[in-house]
Amino acid sequence: MDGFADALGRAGAWAGQNKYLGAIKNAFQNYMPATIAGAVGVLWCNVLVNNQTGLGKFWSGIMVLEVLNPIFSAMQFATIGCISIGICMLVGQEIAEANGEKGAYPAVLSFILLLMVTPTNFSIFYDTKKKAASYIAANRTGAIDAATKSFGKAVGSFSAIESSYIAATGLFTALLVGIIGLEIYNMFRKNDHLKIKMPEQVPPGVAKAFEVLIPTVLTCIVVGLVELVVQLLTGSELNALIFNSVQKPLQNIIGNNIVAVCVLYIIISLFWCVGIHGNNMVSGVKEPIFRPLLYANVTAFRKGEKIPYVFNLTMLQMFGEFGGSGVTIGLVIAILIFSKREDNRTIAGISLVPGLFNINETVTFGIPLVLNPILDIPFLLAPCVCLIVGYILINIGFCPKIVVEVPWTCPPVIFGFIATGGNIFGAISQLIVIAVSFLVYTPFLFIYERQQNKESAAAE
């Protein structure tokens, strides 16, 4: 047991000190207020003031507020709809700070580099078959060659940013650009031969700008060359290539894969079992995979389309993390109902209110669950069992798929109601998995307290 704990401890220390995983984790945490603001926009336009899918369908009076819908729609677009921009800038800033650079310029440079690999030039064609105008990214040479066979000659062009690639579709690219682009920039920045030295009389801000001028130009050239090579070899942009060859296949594999999700949560729980914050250890991997799945569902819900994914970040929180890691709310309830030991009941009583807001350090370290061979078994099992039950409830149509991002501190049941777009069966589904968690923990609680009583008797 000690050797296993030491191995997990070393792995946790490596993950905690890893510059790139830390940058990704911090970027998503820092962007969270914006995503919650976007979730408010989705709730307003789709759950409240909407006469097709929301409260307005049952109470027409609320539709007088429809005049405000453009505000909340814009809020959703500027936050969730532009998440790749925000995450790229924040990751770039984190990498720069880890490399010893201060100031906001690295975030700006990250945004510039992201735009360089995002479609911005479009050609307009006349589709002779549909007898209507159509458009296609002008720098997709292969695509244009194929398109012109049915479209004919280009009749115009325009510049724009392809919105899908600044939303969740471009998230993997945003992370790569923010990390690799800023590392390239840092390599040039550290080279004294590339710094333009200004006289001491020049203000520090101006002198700093000239110092990073050549590194900025060289970084943009390198990223631009990579983009050009990708276009020449594939006929597509780097952003599209990464999405189609990495992000989308990964999402399709994991998006409905209960085994992969259970393995992930066993790893999270194992870290907790040795006293290491499991979610922090894997968030740098979990967020880039499951957050785009969430926003794909949010976008489909907003457009009234079929919801594509069962698993996403909020779904995992709803079924695998309610009450805190290990879904320990079931243990707290079991102790309050069955325990005859005053020490356990005191800890459970203190833990109940924080547990309702998904904070469970009190019970995790108070009982404790850390290095507890008896209670660690349900601590590992409960999240997986609850996720499997949630997976079944969604697939049989009892619980709607999750379509709204909810703050992780939102209490269970309310969480389920909001996450499913205001559906009562989402709330009922969380009540069901709370009962499941209770059933998983209860027999192990009896075994654990029996052992505690024996140890207490032996000590006397």
Kindly state whether residues 304 and 452 are assigned to the same domain. yes
User: Are 209 and 310 found together in one domain?
Assistant: no
Q: Examine the domain organization and report whether 102 and 153 are in the same domain.
A: no
Residue 7 has pLDDT above 70, yes or no: no
Contact 15, 21 (CB under 8 A): yes
Q: Is residue 1 part of a domain?
A: no
Question: What's the whole-number mean pLDDT along residues 196-201?
Answer: 80
Window from 64-73, 191-200, 306-315 with minimum mean pLDDT:
191-200
**101 and 230 inside one domain:** yes
Would you place residue 135 in the very low, low, confident or very high pLDDT band (cuts 50, 70, 90)? low
**What pLDDT digit, counting tens, does each position of 218-233 carry?**
999 999 999 999 888 8
Q: Are residues 367 and 296 in the same domain?
A: yes
User: Letter for the amino acid at 410?
Assistant: C
Instruction: List the one residue out of 292, 294, 301, 36 whose CA is nearest residue 169.
Output: 292
pLDDT for the residue 226: 92
- Asked whether residue 150 falls in the same domain as residue 170, the answer is no
Tell me the average pLDDT across 410-425.
Answer: 91
User: Is the pLDDT assigned to residue 376 strictly greater than 80?
Assistant: yes
pLDDT at 67 over 80: yes
Pair 449, 344: CB distance under 8 Å: yes
Output 89 or 205, whichever has higher pLDDT: 89
324-367, pLDDT tens digit by residue? 889 999 999 999 999 888 888 999 999 888 888 888 888 888 88
* 76, part of any domain: no
Q: List the single range of 83-97, 142-156, 227-241, 354-368 with lowest mean pLDDT.
A: 142-156
Q: Tell me what the mean pLDDT of segment 284-290 comes to.
A: 83
Residues 47-76, mean pLDDT to the nearest whole number: 83
The whole-number pLDDT of residue 143 equals 39
Distance CA 186, CA 215 (A): 8
Q: Is the peptide bond before 368 cis (omega within 30 degrees of 0)?
A: yes
Mean pLDDT for 40-59 is 80
Q: Which of 133, 160, 187 is the last residue of a domain?
A: 160
Q: Give 380 or 154, the one with higher predicted confidence.
A: 380
pTM over 0.85: no
Q: What is the mean pLDDT of residues 370-394?
A: 93
Closest to 378 (Cα-Cα) out of 447, 282, 278: 447
Report yes or no on 372 lying in a domain: yes
Query: What range defines the domain where residue 171 resides?
Result: 83-120+161-254
